Amino acid sequence: MSDNAHEVNTCNHNSAPTVYTNLNMASDTSSNSQKLDALLAAVTELKTSQDGMKQMFENKLDQMRGELIQTIDSKITGLRDELSAAVGNESSRIDNILTTIQSMQSRIDTMEQTPAGPPTTDPINDQRPDGPRRSHVDDTDVSVMASGIPYQDGEDILQKAKDIISALGGNVSTHVAVIAATRFRARFDNRPPLVKITFHSVQEKITVLRNKMELKKSQEYNQVYLKSCKSHAERLIEINARTLIRQLPHGLNLRVDANGRIIQRAQQETMLT
């Protein structure tokens, strides 16, 4: 009986460490599980926080995008309104210019279609090969305007006009007769007044204008310039044309030449203007 008791005691003594080891392992496993749960909870919380930040940034970006688009739309609308107003103003100005030009053209057409009245007859002058002579001193069709003729007190302006025609050469002076010359009042202090020279016929005037460059060869009259006289209506049309040109967007690049045509300015003239 004592032997059996000894065996029981021995078995109990040998199994005790095993029980303690299992308890320790269970305790460590429980601790690790708690740590994993805590770590998993932390990661889940971090992910949730990141998702919240992402959503917040997306909301901010959407808000900024909406405000930016609204601002751009507002700016575009303002620019469109300004452009429409500017185009409307320019269109109105162009319409006014076109209306004025059409009115001027209508007046010109009316003047051209209006008969000038019965022509004067002269038995002697009607026999001339170049047609009848004219005796109207104020007729711009048979007159030229001369600039650059020096002014002198007590001058004989008719003789000066004849001398200028003589300076054009014998082919001109033998076919052209000066019937009148008039000195106008001075418009500028540093320039001599203009002189109007009148001939017998239109053909004589044309002959003078075709040979006017011969004055460049004259030492006395190389600063004299001749151009065709214009009627009051022609001068008024030219003045109106210059006024209209200045109102055009690119009017500085245009000019009215001596014949009343609107032409492009040369580059040098544009720079000087």
**201-226 mean pLDDT:** 90
Checking if the pLDDT of 238 tops 50, the result is yes
CB atoms within 10 A of CB 194: 18
Tell me the β-bridge partners of 226.
146
Of 226 and 232, more confident:
226
Tell me the β-bridge partners of 180.
198
| Helix (H), strand (E), coil (C) string for 11-22 | HHHHHHHHHHHH
Least confident of 22-31, 162-171, 256-265: 22-31
Mean pLDDT of the chain: 76
Burial (CB < 10 A; 0-12, 13-18, 19+), residue 199, is: buried
Q: What is the pLDDT of residue 164?
A: 92
CA 223-229-232 angle, to 5 degrees, is: 135
Residue type at 147? S
In degrees and rounded to multiples of 5, residue 263 shows phi and psi of -130, 170
Q: What is the pLDDT of residue 125?
A: 41
Go through the domains of the chain in sequence order and give each one's CATH number. Answer: 130-229 (3.30.70.330), 234-272 (no CATH)
* Confidence at 269, pLDDT banded by 50, 70, 90: low
Q: What is the pLDDT of residue 196?
A: 92
Checking if the pLDDT of 240 tops 60, the result is yes
Q: What is the pLDDT of residue 156?
A: 93
Please give the sequence-ordered ranges of beta strands (E in DSSP) within the chain, or none if there are none.
143-147, 178-183, 195-199, 225-228, 254-256, 262-264
Give tens-digit pLDDT for 104-120: 666 666 655 554 444 33
Checking if the pLDDT of 37 tops 70, the result is yes
In terms of DSSP H, where are the helices of 148-257?
157-166, 170-173, 202-210, 232-247
In degrees and rounded to multiples of 5, residue 245 shows phi and psi of -60, -40
Q: What is the pLDDT of residue 121?
A: 38
Checking if the pLDDT of 136 tops 70, the result is no
CA distance 11 to 18: 12
Of 271 and 257, more confident:
257
* Confidence at 197, pLDDT banded by 50, 70, 90: very high
Checking if the pLDDT of 266 tops 80, the result is no
Residue 128, helix vs strand vs coil:
coil
Of 96 and 130, more confident:
96
Q: What is the pLDDT of residue 60?
A: 86
Q: What is the pLDDT of residue 253?
A: 80
- Interstrand relation of 254-256 and 262-264 (parallel, antiparallel or unpaired): antiparallel
CB atoms within 10 A of CB 74: 10
Of 252 and 131, more confident:
252
Give helix 2-113 / helix 232-247 axis angle, nearest 10°. 180
Express as a percent the part of the chain with pLDDT over 70. 73
Express as a percent the part of the chain with pLDDT over 90. 15
Give tens-digit pLDDT for 150-190: 888 888 999 999 999 999 988 888 889 899 998 988 887 88
* Confidence at 22, pLDDT banded by 50, 70, 90: low
